[in-house]
């Protein structure tokens, strides 16, 4: 029983990581119908920005929630800037071209960032300074069951960000404009909505989320390298499709489903198929329910 | 240009007979250098491997050249990066042989990449020495492929014996990297010996290189209550595995192989690595004068303590140079024959003899992580 519960806890923590990345994925897709394959790399940039900020400002000497917030803000700002630049230089010139061109460009941007990352940061894995939060040794345990504080932080943050996004999309002017652009780009423009700015804002918001995820993942799994975004990026994409791409709640639901499925597959059955599972799910969902778990209500789309 | 052509033609006539054996003899004769190719992962996620090995190789080359080179010629190393990818390693090997016309090749650290290189070196009949690929299949590819390290059956044997006889434990869980020939092989050989010694493998779990979450495997392992966990992977993942094991409340020691040998292991794993054991090629704490002398010279050159991989790179180059000195000529077939005859060569990592299968026969050391550094624990000899 303890083992089963431990698996559930592990799965929720893994799911919250996927959720944090999937939120940005799904939001950009919702507005642009563009699968931004560079999203995983923006997450990587966030992790590295966080690491360098902590090193340069010597935040490890002042551990606490304040240091975490500084690192988070730096990472989110850098990621948002990167997102803005990528959209401006790579995607905007192609907005009127066929969808496939954009998709190929996105893959290109992703590879460009992976290899530039190796050039700039070096490709050996680096240690993410976990010392900014003094949490080691503060695990809660009940018998064999162990819960780490960072797991709770990631879970709570994923849920909070989901509600914040939900609020922005459905309760603010920006959100209304985003939904209008998503519904019909040309009409929105005719209604006086500055579509370019809205799209930029969407990209920046999505990228900032990825940046925050980068820092949190760095704290939980303190090994970061320039290729770290590839697999989580793809998994988050699967999670977003599973939940119904373009749907914020769906992304979180999909991420937790994927986390649970992976955890139980690895824990009780064949660990080798971990990555195959995610893509197996992708194929199945595209075959049988392409709109995803929560994708039925078209009105709920961003 | 003209002069060179003339020389080449003349020399071509002079050495017309051996030409049939090696395609690049002609090119060598026209050069003042003996070119040695090196393939390593100087970038990529296992960059430590390539960089450390190359520093060892470079130090050896400098020392050989400072003492007059070989047969009146200086050595020159041409290093190509494979980014840690087998296909890049294969391309680099072809380039070194066909374009740079090297006489011999040093590489690779990782068995999966040496396995991609070896068929090419064998095809062109260029001697290849792997400094530290321990998978047995590497030298089985052909008679031009050598190594100066022990092989995984021995390394698996070492850790199994260490676990059974020194640690006196009975129940071990294994967590192997399925993407990695080295890790899979090591897990297999460990299992064989450990069972023979009366031990029990309580669970055999796996992961893939690049994973960051190992908690599901570790949770399953925890339920089996092992006395130790054998993780024959690379340092890139082991640090995270150790952290997650500790945070799940697993307190038993972790054990591994020479793939752990990197300062990053301690950096990423932190306190979680304390008390872990792994087998390696040498220990920097070895008090033998030739080891300490090597460490001094290495420190002078790189301001760092040499890792096992650096020592292996050094030894691979020295063994090659020794064979070149003993060889009748610098043709690749003569060098091959001299390499195969290597006996009791005193390297930094022990006395090296090349056996029938072109593997080195030598002891292994077991290191323990104590207060954030690798401390010597025990030496285990073949047999």
User: In sequence order, which ranges of A144-229 are alpha helices (DSSP H)?
Assistant: 149-171, 173-183, 185-190, 195-220
Query: pLDDT at position B7, please?
Result: 47
Query: pLDDT at position A136, please?
Result: 64
User: Are B216 and A231 an interchain contact pair (Cβ–Cβ within 8 Å)?
Assistant: no
Within 13 Å, how many C-alpha atoms sit on residue A237's CB side?
Answer: 20
The distance of A245 to chain B (nearest Cα, Å) reads 25
Query: pLDDT at position B383, please?
Result: 66
Contacts of A45 (CB under 8 A, 6+ apart): A78, A79, A82, A113, A117, A211, A214
Query: pLDDT at position A293, please?
Result: 82
Mean pLDDT of A200-211: 92
The distance of A255 to chain B (nearest Cα, Å) reads 15
The two structure tokens encoding residue B370? 């104590």
Sign of CA dihedral B100, B105, B108, B114: positive
Q: Model confidence over A119-132: pLDDT tens digits?
A: 898 877 889 988 88
Contacting B residues, span 36-95, partner chain A, CB-CB under 8 Å? 43-48, 83-84
User: Are A123 and B219 an interchain contact pair (Cβ–Cβ within 8 Å)?
Assistant: no
Give yes or no for residue A58 having a pLDDT over 70.
yes
At residue B211's C-alpha, the angle toward residues B210 and B216, to 5°, is: 165
DSSP E strands, B223-298: 228-230, 254-256, 277-280
C-beta of residue B226 within 8 angstroms of C-beta of residue B252: yes
Between CA A19 and CA A27 the distance in angstroms is 12
Between CA B232 and CA B256 the distance in angstroms is 5
Q: Is B218 helix (H, G, I), strand (E, B) or coil?
A: helix
Between CA B138 and CA B153 the distance in angstroms is 13
Query: pLDDT at position A214, please?
Result: 93
Query: pLDDT at position B340, please?
Result: 93
Interface of A to B at Cβ within 8 Å reads 3, 6-7, 10-11, 13-14, 118, 122-125, 127, 136, 139, 141, 144, 146, 148, 217, 221-223, 225, 227-228, 231-232, 262-264, 266-268, 271-272, 274-275
Query: pLDDT at position B9, please?
Result: 45
The two structure tokens encoding residue B227? 């006395």
Q: Give chain B's end-to-end CA distance (angstroms, integer).
A: 57
User: Are B217 and A118 an interchain contact pair (Cβ–Cβ within 8 Å)?
Assistant: no
User: Are B219 and A141 an interchain contact pair (Cβ–Cβ within 8 Å)?
Assistant: no
Q: Model confidence over A95-145: pLDDT tens digits?
A: 888 888 988 999 999 999 998 998 898 877 889 988 887 766 677 877 778
From residue B112, give the alpha-carbon distance in Å to each of A48, A125, A178, B130, B249: 29, 20, 49, 12, 34
What is the mean pLDDT of each successive set of 10 residues along chain B, which is 383 residues long?
46 42 46 88 84 94 92 92 92 95 92 94 95 91 93 90 92 92 91 93 90 90 93 91 91 92 88 92 86 93 90 94 93 94 90 90 90 89 76
Query: pLDDT at position A157, please?
Result: 86
Closest A-chain CA to B236: A125
User: Are B178 and A272 an interchain contact pair (Cβ–Cβ within 8 Å)?
Assistant: yes
Q: What is the ipTM of this complex?
A: 0.85
Q: What domains does chain B contain, in order, with CATH numbers? A: 31-150+288-363 (3.40.50.2300), 153-280 (3.40.50.2300)
Give yes or no for residue A247 having a pLDDT over 90.
no
The distance of A223 to chain B (nearest Cα, Å) reads 6
The two structure tokens encoding residue B112? 């999966």
The two structure tokens encoding residue B368? 């323990």
CB proximity B203 to A under 8 Å: no
User: Are B247 and A148 an interchain contact pair (Cβ–Cβ within 8 Å)?
Assistant: yes
Between CA A219 and CA A83 the distance in angstroms is 23
User: Are A127 and B268 an interchain contact pair (Cβ–Cβ within 8 Å)?
Assistant: yes
Collect all residues of chain A within an 8 Å Cβ-Cβ radius of residue B271: 136
CB proximity B205 to A under 8 Å: yes
Confidence band of A295 (pLDDT split at 50, 70, 90): low
User: Are A221 and B264 an interchain contact pair (Cβ–Cβ within 8 Å)?
Assistant: no
C-beta of residue B145 within 8 angstroms of C-beta of residue B121: yes
User: Are A223 and B216 an interchain contact pair (Cβ–Cβ within 8 Å)?
Assistant: no
């Amino acid at each position: 029983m303890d083992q089963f519960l431990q698996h559930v806890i592990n799965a929720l923590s893994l799911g919250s990581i996927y959720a944090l990345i999937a939120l940005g994925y799904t939001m950009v897709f919702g507005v642009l119908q563009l699968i931004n394959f560079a999203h995983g790399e923006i997450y990587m940039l966030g992790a590295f920005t966080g690491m360098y900020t902590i090193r340069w400002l010597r935040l490890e000497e002042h551990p606490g929630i304040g240091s975490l917030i500084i690192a988070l803000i730096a990472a989110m700002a850098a990621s948002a800037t990167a997102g803005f630049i990528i959209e401006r230089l790579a995607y905007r010139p192609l907005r009127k071209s066929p969808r496939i061109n954009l998709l190929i460009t996105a893959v290109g941007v992703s590879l460009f960032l992976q290899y530039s990352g190796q050039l700039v940061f070096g490709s050996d894995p680096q240690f993410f300074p976990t010392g900014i939060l003094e949490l080691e040794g503060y695990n809660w345990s009940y018998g064999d069951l162990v819960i780490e504080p960072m797991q709770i932080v990631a879970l709570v943050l994923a849920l909070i960000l989901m509600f914040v996004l939900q609020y922005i999309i459905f309760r603010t002017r920006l959100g209304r404009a985003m939904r209008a652009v998503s519904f019909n780009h040309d009409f929105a423009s005719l209604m006086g909505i500055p579509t370019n700015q809205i799209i930029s804002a969407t990209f920046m918001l999505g990228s900032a989320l990825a940046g925050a995820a980068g820092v949190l993942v760095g704290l939980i799994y303190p090994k970061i390298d320039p290729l770290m975004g590839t697999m989580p990026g793809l998994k988050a994409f699967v999670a977003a499709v599973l939940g119904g791409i373009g749907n914020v709640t769906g992304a979180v639901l999909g991420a937790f489903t994927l986390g649970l499925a992976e955890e139980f597959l690895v824990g009780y059955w064949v660990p080798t198929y971990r990555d195959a599972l995610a893509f197996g799910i992708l194929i199945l969902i595209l075959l049988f329910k392409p709109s995803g778990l929560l994708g039925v209500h078209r009105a709920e789309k961003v | 240009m003209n002069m060179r052509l003339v020389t080449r033609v003349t020399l071509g006539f002079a050495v017309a007979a051996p030409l049939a054996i090696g395609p690049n003899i002609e090119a060598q004769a026209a050069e003042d250098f003996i070119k040695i190719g090196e393939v390593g992962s100087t970038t990529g996620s296992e960059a430590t491997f390539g960089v450390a090995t190359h520093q060892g190789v470079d130090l050896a080359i400098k020392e050989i050249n400072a003492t007059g080179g070989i047969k009146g010629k200086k050595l020159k190393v041409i290093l190509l990066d494979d980014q840690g990818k087998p296909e890049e390693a294969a391309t680099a090997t072809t380039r070194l042989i066909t374009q740079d016309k090297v006489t011999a090749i040093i590489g690779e650290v990782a068995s999966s990449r040496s396995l991609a290189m070896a068929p090419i070196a064998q095809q062109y009949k260029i001697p290849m020495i792997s400094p530290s690929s321990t998978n047995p299949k590497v030298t089985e590819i052909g008679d031009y492929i050598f190594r100066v390290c022990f092989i995984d059956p021995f390394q698996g044997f070492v850790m199994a014996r260490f676990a059974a006889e020194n640690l006196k434990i009975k129940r071990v869980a294994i967590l192997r990297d399925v993407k990695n020939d080295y890790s899979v092989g090591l897990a297999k050989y460990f299992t064989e010996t450990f069972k023979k010694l009366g031990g029990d493998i309580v669970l055999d779990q796996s992961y893939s290189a690049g994973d960051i979450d190992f908690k599901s495997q570790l949770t399953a392992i925890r339920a089996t209550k092992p006395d130790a966990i054998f993780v024959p992977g690379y340092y890139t993942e082991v640090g995270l595995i150790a952290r997650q094991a500790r945070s799940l409340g697993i307190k038993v020691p972790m054990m591994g192989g020479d793939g752990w040998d990197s300062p990053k292991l301690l950096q990423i794993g932190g306190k979680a690595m304390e008390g872990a054991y792994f087998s390696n090629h040498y220990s920097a704490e070895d008090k033998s004068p030739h080891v300490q002398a090597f460490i001094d010279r290495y420190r002078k050159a790189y301001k760092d303590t040499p890792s096992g991989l650096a020592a292996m790179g050094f030894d691979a180059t020295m063994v090659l140079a020794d064979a070149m000195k003993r060889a009748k000529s610098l043709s690749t077939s003569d060098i091959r024959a001299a390499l195969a005859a290597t006996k009791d060569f005193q390297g930094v990592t022990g006395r090296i003899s090349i056996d029938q299968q072109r593997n080195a026969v030598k002891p292994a050391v077991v290191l323990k992580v104590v207060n954030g550094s690798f401390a010597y624990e025990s030496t285990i000899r073949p047999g």
